[in-house]
Amino acid sequence: MTLYEWIKDEINGGTFESDCRLPDHADLGPDAANSWVPGAYESLLMRSTYSIRRYAFQNYLLARKVRKQALKPSEKNQEKEETALQKTGALAVVDPVISFLHAMHTDKAALRREGLRLACGTRKRELVKVGIALLGMWGDKEGGEDLEILLTLARHEEFTFFCAPAVRSLMGAGKVNDCLLPLADSLDGWGKTAILYELNYDPALADEATGVNPASDFLLRRGCKNRLGPAVNANICATKGGLAEKLKEISGSEALPDKELYSGICEIMWGLTEFGGVYDSINDYKYGHDARNLFKQLVETRPELEALDPRGAGIVERMR
């Protein structure tokens, strides 16, 4: 059974968890029991200054193997391609390999077919990731089956870091929110972080009824809640969600915010006040000074907010 088939069966059976162990786990090596949780490895590299170095000639040879299998599929070519791709992590090679494939003017339909084969017809996670990247570049721009495949694989956080940008590439920035926002609530780890970085926060996409971009609203309400801790996504939620502006709006209104919104704001503020950690604090948030004062003013002048979320006073204390 391929990984794609296995994930679909788990989802359909109602037993799927976004961080569950994949069937090829035993192939990861003798230290597999101590391996990264799904998505953590990619997240660390994408959010740090660590540089992944690959020689250009090696990547060129990889691209040639992918191209040869795409144009002239055979067991021999497939074996050479898959053996080469599995020698290194997909994160290190997908961008340069795709760049070379572009330069080679490879038949797009052939690359899509190879992307489908790797994404849906293989049992090794690194091959699936390369297939995801190929579909993101050369998949069906109308969505359909290709989009469904990407969104299915994205449900597992091992693949979300590859699927989220692939969906944005395939469907375009104007449609990415409609595709990824429904998925975000089903993830609560590094996969959720990956989606937050691919959503479109352009004010031009604001909802006609509320005047708010649904992606920005999601960040304020539920974007910061995850099993890894609120500090992980606090800064992007504050920045792209417009935290300071929303606090100013609440302060100028006589009506209280709804429970979900205020609880989401508290989650962000709690994450931003985890000083001394590895993640951004309120001092790193561009409008942190305004957010600090506005939140403190709200808590001190509206005690009824405690019924919505009791953390307000604790957050103010952490800011001192």
Domain check: are 177 and 259 in the same one? no
In this structure, are 185 and 263 located in the same domain? no
- The predicted pLDDT at position 37 comes to 52
Q: What is the dihedral of CA 66, 84, 39, 192, to 10 degrees?
A: 0
What is the distance between the alpha carbons of residues 53 and 69, in angstroms, rounded to a whole number? Answer: 25
What pLDDT is stored for residue 42 in this prediction? 54
Residues 176 and 224 in one domain: no
Number of domains in the chain: 2
Q: How far apart are CA 229 and CA 190, in angstroms?
A: 11
Residues 6+ apart with CB under 8 A from 254: none
pTM for the structure as a whole: 0.85
Residues 12 and 84 in one domain: yes
| pLDDT, position 52 | 52
**What tens digit of pLDDT does each residue of 201-226 get?**
999 999 888 889 999 999 999 999 99
Extract the residue ranges of the chain whose pLDDT is less than 70: 26-54
Per the CB < 8 A criterion, the answer to whether 42 and 186 are in contact is no
Asked if residue 248 and residue 163 are part of one domain, the reply reads no
The answer as to whether 211 is a domain residue is: no
Token pair 């699936």: residue = 128
pLDDT attached to residue 43: 56
Q: Is residue 207 part of a domain?
A: no
Close Cβ partners of 16 (under 8 Å, ≥ 6 residues apart): 7, 10, 155, 156
DSSP state of 49: S
Answer yes or no: are the C-beta atoms of 195 and 76 closer than 8 Å: no
| Domain presence at residue 240 | yes
> Of 200, 229, 254, which marks where a domain is finished?
200
Residue 36: per-residue pLDDT: 46
Instruction: Give the residue from 56, 57, 87, 82 showing the smallest Cα distance to 70.
Output: 82
- Domain hosting residue 278, numbered range: 217-320
Q: Which pLDDT does position 91 carry in this prediction?
A: 77
* 61 occurs within a structural domain: yes
